[in-house]
């Protein structure tokens, strides 16, 4: 097995919940990310899925040290990012970049596209001014934008074009790791396809390692090599994308997959749906034992006592359920 490029070890991100103005006291903890261990190979695309509030965005941001982790390590190419501070961390940031759901909010409305991209290029490496136009045009080409747009401002672009600019800016520092947080969720269907193709192409050509965060399972299935399913701050299932989609092991993944509408009337008519009851519980007071047990149709008494760990099932597919083999007979 090739050496892991990104290694996440028992990563935890907890936020204090405080009350009071003069005497602030801690009344609880939001366990947004609660013990995540993952390893990602170079050039791999990992899809991170789960419902809103499951901690997938917080995990992405914690990996990039945009939020300091409470515990655990993030080792990128042999270096523990969680221990870096100040200038070292800033320098390390050239290795990893993020793109966000709303490209408009992540672009400065008063900077032309040329300025935005030039700033990104120069932020990590001194590049002579005379070389900038060529470098910027090269970036624009990479993301499929015509260099004649260079003097324009963000408001002059459509949503899809802005997302291309955001991708170009992320690529400006030649990152090794890219985290895309819901990059196509705000886009129309016909535009989504363009950005998905762009990201898939880049990861192939540049051998970019990517974490693709999305609540849209069919998009993730399409672009990711492996999928990690999160529930209440924990990874409950991990495996090759097609396999997780076609043969989900964890009861939560089963429900999630069955809730995804299929754009095919005949298949929609045939399928059996598992409809989950209720909403995900609060991460402030997560249920004891398996966090999913209150909504799980397979739950038994032990599920509220035993905290399940990810265990291997087969062919690289793992799930954390104490009844894993019982409910998935061979």
Partner 1 sequence: MPLLTVNNLRTWFHTRNGVVRAADNVSFEIEKGETLGIVGESGSGKSVTCYSLMGLIPQPPGKIESGTAVFNGQTDLLRCSAKDLNRIRGRHMAMIFQDPMTSLNPYMRIEDQLIEPLLIHGLHDRAEAVRQGIRALEEVGVPDAAARIRSYPHEFSGGMRQRVMIAMALITRPELLIADEPTTALDVTVQAQILELIKKMQNELGMAVIWVTHDLGVVAGFCRRVLVMYAGRIVESAPTEQLFYRTKHPYTRALQRSIPALQPKGAELYTIAGAPPDLSRRIDGCAFVPRCEFAQDKCKIPPIELKAVEPGHATACVRVQSKEISL
Residues counted in the chain: 330
Give 53 or 72: the residue with its C-beta nearer to partner 1. 53
What beta strand segments (E) does 215-316 contain? 226-231, 234-240, 311-314
In sequence order, the 6+-apart residues with CB closer than 8 A to the CB of 159 are: 103, 104, 186, 187, 188, 191
Question: What backbone phi and psi angles, to 5 degrees, belong to 122?
Answer: -80, -10
The footprint of partner 1 (CB under 8 A) covers 51-52, 158, 160, 188-194, 196-197, 200, 215, 217-219, 221-223, 241-242, 255-256, 258-269, 273, 275-279
DSSP reduced 3-state for 192: helix
Residues in a beta bridge with 47 = 212, 227
List alpha helices for 93-216, DSSP H. Answer: 113-124, 132-142, 159-171, 189-205
Q: Which of 114, 226, 232, 91 is nearest to 168 (CA)?
A: 114
Give 278 or 329: the residue with its C-beta nearer to partner 1. 278
Least CB distance from residue 254 to partner 1, whole Å? 11
Least CB distance from residue 45 to partner 1, whole Å? 10
3-state class percentages of the chain: helix first, strand second, coil last, to nearest 5? 35, 25, 40
Least CB distance from residue 223 to partner 1, whole Å? 8
Give 110 or 267: the residue with its C-beta nearer to partner 1. 267
Give 8 or 184: the residue with its C-beta nearer to partner 1. 184
Give 75 or 191: the residue with its C-beta nearer to partner 1. 191
Least CB distance from residue 286 to partner 1, whole Å? 16
Least CB distance from residue 29 to partner 1, whole Å? 20
């Amino acid at each position: 097995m090739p050496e892991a490029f990104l290694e996440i070890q028992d990563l935890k991100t907890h936020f204090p919940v405080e009350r009071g103005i003069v005497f602030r006291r801690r009344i609880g903890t939001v366990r947004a990310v609660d013990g995540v261990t993952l390893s990602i190979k170079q050039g791999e695309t990992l899809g991170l899925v789960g419902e809103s509030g499951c901690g997938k965005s917080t995990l992405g941001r914690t990996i990039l040290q945009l939020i300091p982790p409470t515990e655990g390590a993030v080792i990128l190419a042999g270096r523990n990012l969680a221990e870096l501070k100040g200038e070292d961390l800033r320098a390390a940031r050239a290795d990893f970049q993020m793109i966000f759901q709303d490209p408009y909010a992540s672009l400065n409305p008063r900077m032309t596209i040329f300025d935005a991209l030039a700033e990104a290029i120069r932020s990590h490496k001194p590049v002579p001014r005379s070389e900038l136009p060529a470098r910027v045009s090269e970036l624009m080409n990479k993301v499929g934008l015509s260099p004649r747009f260079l003097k324009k401002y963000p408001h002059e672009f459509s949503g899809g074009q802005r997302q291309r600019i955001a991708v170009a800016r992320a690529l400006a520092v030649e990152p090794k790791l890219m985290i895309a947080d819901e990059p196509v969720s705000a886009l129309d269907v016909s535009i989504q396809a363009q950005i998905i193709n762009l990201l898939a192409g880049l990861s192939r050509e540049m051998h970019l390692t990517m974490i693709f965060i999305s609540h849209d399972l069919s998009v993730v299935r399409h672009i990711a090599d492996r999928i990690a399913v999160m529930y209440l701050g924990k990874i409950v299932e991990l495996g090759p994308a097609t396999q997780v989609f076609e043969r989900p092991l964890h009861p939560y993944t089963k429900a999630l997959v069955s809730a995804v509408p299929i754009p095919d009337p005949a298949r929609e008519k045939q399928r059996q749906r598992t409809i989950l009851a209720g909403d995900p519980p609060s991460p402030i007071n997560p249920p004891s034992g398996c966090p999913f047990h209150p909504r799980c149709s397979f739950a038994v008494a032990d599920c509220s006592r035993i905290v399940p760990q990810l265990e291997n099932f087969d062919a690289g597919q793992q799930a954390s359920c104490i009844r894993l083999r019982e409910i998935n007979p061979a």
